[in-house]
Structure 1
Amino acid sequence: MLGHGQIWAAIDALAAKNGLSASGLAKKSGLDPTTFNRSKRIAVDGRPRWPSTESIAKALDATATNLDNFMGLLTEGSSRAPSRNVPLLGLAQAGAGGFFDDAGFPIGQGWDEIGFPQADGQMYALEISGDSMAPVFRDGDVVLVQPGAAVRRGDRVIVKTTDGEVMAKELARQTAKQVELRSLNREHADRTFAAKEIDWIARIVWASQ
């Protein structure tokens, strides 16, 4: 089964083979210049976004590349971008004690690990518990978290309070004085905290479904 990372790596390789950037390949293919940009590869809700078969077909036509050659790039992309193991914590476990440093990264040894092909930079995985984020994230789903990444309104985030509570929410609003969090499951109340009550906020960049 072809993975999300393999497909995008093959598109990057196709662009490079033709002396183009990802946006240059899109323009040459008659597509919106941002079609193949890295910012388009993960949706705002953290789910992987796949290129359409139509956009791939146009890129192959524009570069005079046949399907067999593109499949070769898929194999090369897989070998260039192997899965990297990241720490895996349970959400309930994460809220039980001092498992994070001040920046929101797990500390200590002995965590379970899980492989993610697109795990660039410092990241870790959390297994969701509870249903406050259903139906977007369900009990047992695994999310990839990137502390230090910029967060904005509408992002799905992991939040740790100064009292040690760790939760998955949507960032509704953040000011210098207050943080408002939304529960996607309307059976759960939204949460509002004073900014000083928030230890850190980390963006969810990927989720298993």
Structure 2
Amino acid sequence: MRHDDIWRALDALAAENGLSASGLARKAGLDPTAFNPSKRAGADGRARWPSTESIAKVLDATSTGIEAFADLVTGQRALPSGRAPARRHLPLIGFAQASSDGYFDEGGFPVGGGWDEISMPEVADPHAYALEISGDSMEPVLRDGDTIIVSPAAPVRRGDRVVVRTAKSEVMAKELARQSARRIELKSLNPAHPNYTFDLGDITWMHRVVWLSQ
């Protein structure tokens, strides 16, 4: 288990409950800044872990069991069965369509009239959108027919699953392995597929996956 996995799980739990990271902390009775990106590393740059007390309060406030949280750490949903999250209609297209013109503006926000809509768990980002996975290039993490919610506003960190659009209009879902001032390294979700390295100038936008259905 990695430091980034725990923070990503907390972010995903917040998204599944229709909250921001600050909103989740507030709901748990914590300082609203407790889960801010600035609190996830010390002044020396070393990664900081959320306390077990903080996690316990979050799980209690969201009625989430420890096993469900462990599932979320590995990228699965955390919501208990029988409990409905806050929902909203998000724009939806098939993953293969995402590389076509007319669906995103220059900032990577969904535009145009070609989008369908789907009722999905609420997320704080008003520009969030959904993609339906096709094919097997992202197995075993994502399978044909899975749906992911992507947030252009969510901060992206090493280890996050991301959707990337290149200057050549290629769209791919990968894991961010490393990002420097000049380059970005992406790890394929399917080990049978290659990893990629791009100059930052070759990336049009990169958005974080904040929820997936399986």
Calculate the TM-score normalised by the size of structure 1.
0.67
Bigger mean CA offset, 187-196 vs 114-123:
114-123
The runs of 4+ residues in structure 1 deviating greater than 4 Å are 38-42
Indicate yes or no: 2:194 matched with 1:189: yes
Contact 1:44 1:155 in 2 (8 A): no
Work out whether 1:138 is the aligned partner of 2:143. yes
User: Is residue 38 of structure 2 the alignment partner of residue 32 of structure 1?
Assistant: no
Distance 2:73 2:204 in 1: 23
1:205 aligns with 2:206: no
Tell me, yes or no, if structure 1 residue 43 matches structure 2 residue 72. Answer: yes
**What's the counterpart of residue 58 of structure 1?**
none
Q: 1:17 is matched with which residue? A: none
Cα gap change, 1:23/1:99 in structure 2, threshold over 3 Å: closer, same or farther? same
User: Which runs of 5 or more residues in structure 2 are unaligned?
Assistant: 1-12, 19-25, 31-51
2:126 pairs with 1:97: no
Deviation of 1:50 (Å) = 4.1
1:153 positional shift:
0.8
Aligned residue for 1:37, secondary structure, equals: helix
> Aligned residue for 2:28?
22
Change in 2 beyond 3 A, CA 1:184/1:82: closer
Q: Is the 8 A contact 1:46 1:205 kept in 2?
A: no
Q: Does 1:152 align with 2:152?
A: no
Distance 1:151 1:44 in 2: 16
Compute the RMSD of aligned alpha carbons: 3.1
Residue in structure 2 matched with residue 114 of structure 1 by the alignment: 118
Residue deviations 1:63-116 (CA, integer Å, cap 9, x gap): xxxxxxxx9xx7xxx6xx752100001111111224211221111124111112
Distance in 2 (CA, whole Å) between partners of 1:44 and 1:97 is 35
Closer/same/farther in 2, CA of residues 184 and 8 from structure 1, 3 Å limit: closer
Aligned residues: 163
Q: Larger Rg: 1 or 2?
A: 1
Query: CA separation in 2, counterparts of 1:101 and 1:91?
Result: 16
Aligned-partner residue type, residue 22 of structure 1: A
Counterparts in 2 of 1:158 and 1:45: CA distance versus 1, 3 Å: farther
Q: Report the residue type matching 1:130 in the other structure.
A: G
SS at match of 1:157: strand
